[in-house]
Amino acid sequence: MGAAGLAGTAAADDHVEVNVGFANNRGRRAALEVAVSVKREFSFNALTMTVPEEAVDGLAADRNVRYVEENGEMYAHDQTTPYGIEITDADVAIDDGNTGEGVSVAILDTGIDAQHETLEENLGEGWATDDAECTTDCQGGPFGGNNIDECLEEWDDDNDHGSHVAGTAAAADNGVGVLGVAPDATLHAVKVLECDGGGTFDDIAAGIEWSADQGHDVQNMSLGADSDSEVVSDAIEDAADKGVVLVASAGNDGECTDCVGFPARHPEVIAVSATDEDDELADFSSTGPEVELAAPGVDTLSTIPRDDYDEFSGTSMSAPHVSGAAATVIADGTTDREEVREQLKEAADDIGLDENEQGAGRLNVADAVDAESDDDDDDDDKEEEENVSVVTDEATDVGETSATLNGEVTELENADEADVGFEYDESGGDLSNTVDAGTVSGTEKFDATVDGLDSGTEYEFRAVAETAEDSDEGDVLAFTTDEEEDDDEESTAPVIDQFDLTDTSNPRWARVEVDWAVSDDDGNLDEVTSVLKDGIDSETSSVSGDAASGTHELRERDGHGEAEVTLTVTDTDGNETSDTKSITLG
């Protein structure tokens, strides 16, 4: 890295803190010659030191120097504010005796609560870098501190993040609090993040180095940065060479693609994305080709100082599920780091997400160790497997635009009921239309009527049945709807069977009562209307069928004398019949 990339890291007005990887002793001497001070020397040929800013370019150009990088910082992945033990079947593994006993899990984080009621009995030796030692006077930062009253150990948790991660990985099964994935594993606090959740690259590398040197089996890194670090990469490769299973959170930069953070994207590290209790991808989860597994990371309940609990969200919460699972696999007898990695991936459940979102799938701890639930064994599973069979029967009551589809459930085992119905389409189609036929509780026939079909058309259909765990389809059969009937006969006009007028006038009003009866051979009667004197008054009655009768009353004020009344009857085909009669009113 050139000086431009380091300009923002000045330790004094003209000094910068850098990590220098050297290829040989000449490179080491070259670095030490320009060093103002040396903060740390690693066993894998790297130094953390302060140098004059103007010395950076020359040092980076030295062929005996592998790299010069800014000593940047990593931060605990933020949490939005669990349940993951059940969804990953860790509880099934635990009930079967797979508890991670004898395996050590290092939590590289903000520390672990040194006295928590469900963590303390699982705590082993811890360690903290000088910069990250516990403090009761946190000055804030991106994720703040918890302002604990007393630091019981240098590696005590002054932030909450590390304790929460530790509880998910290995909270004890002691009847209080929460249950971790590997409740008998030994937890080691490796405090590399300060109370504000941040830690320098060299501190992260030092934590990886210390843990690997202690012989820890698993390292959990719920932390990350956007940029890679050579010194952290060196430490990761050193730990991998020593057989450590390394797990890291993918990052919380979602929604995004190809955005897995570092160190999760390092080839030696298992990158873990986050899902929710419905096995949907968490909207904050980073994704990319480096993701190897998914695990619960939304509203995850776990431990925080002191003897407290809270729900956090983030891929930081997903990673320790996998770290605990790795401990469970190792305790079960698989000790090679790459075999552990493959075993976890082979056992994962495909939850239907894209590969860059779920990797091999969502973690399944029980399957990774071939654990069986207490109330089941393989034979029981076979005996209790649900089974449904269905056949398609010929269609009946086929008309111009409708038909009744028929089927029969011929087998229903180990299930209380099955949902049944039909799929249909015009012949040659994809049977994309469906009709529900309800639910059956045994071997029985069922049917459903479909309407809105085209006349004179061939259709194909099949019966379908589904239980909670099984489904079946019958053979595809065909039927042809009837041709539409052509009615070549012209419909007949309606007939007026009765048309009688009666004078009912009084001195002020001329009134006439119209008694009528009508009929229609086609049975299509529609309306009957009486009209007085070309519209002075009228009355209309709606009628139907093949015959109807009734009375209309018409009137005109001071309209005494000769008057004409017209009676008209119509049918629904538009045919009309009229008659007119005269009457003297008054």
Residue positions annotated with a catalytic role: 109, 161, 316
Q: Where are the alpha helices (DSSP H) in 50-173?
A: 56-61, 84-87, 90-95, 161-170
* CA atoms of 408 and 431, how far apart (whole Å): 19
Helix orientation angle between 201-214 and 230-241, rounded to the nearest 10 degrees: 10
Task: Kindly provide the residue ranges of all beta strands, DSSP E only, lying in 183-222, ordered along the sequence.
Answer: 186-191, 198-200, 218-221
String of DSSP letters for 473-542: E---EEEEPPPPPP--SPPPPPEEEEEEEEE---SSEEEEEEEEEEE-TTSBEEEEEEEETTTTEEEEEE
* CA atoms of 527 and 542, how far apart (whole Å): 5
Q: End-to-end CA distance of the chain, in Å?
A: 119
* Tokens matching residue 322: 């996998």
* Tokens matching residue 563: 């008057």
CA-CA-CA-CA torsion sign (184, 185, 191, 194): negative
Q: 418-426 and 37-42 as β-strands: parallel, antiparallel, unpaired?
A: unpaired
Vertex 78 angle, CA 49 and 159, to 5°: 70
Q: Where are the alpha helices (DSSP H) in 354-497?
A: 355-358, 365-368, 378-383
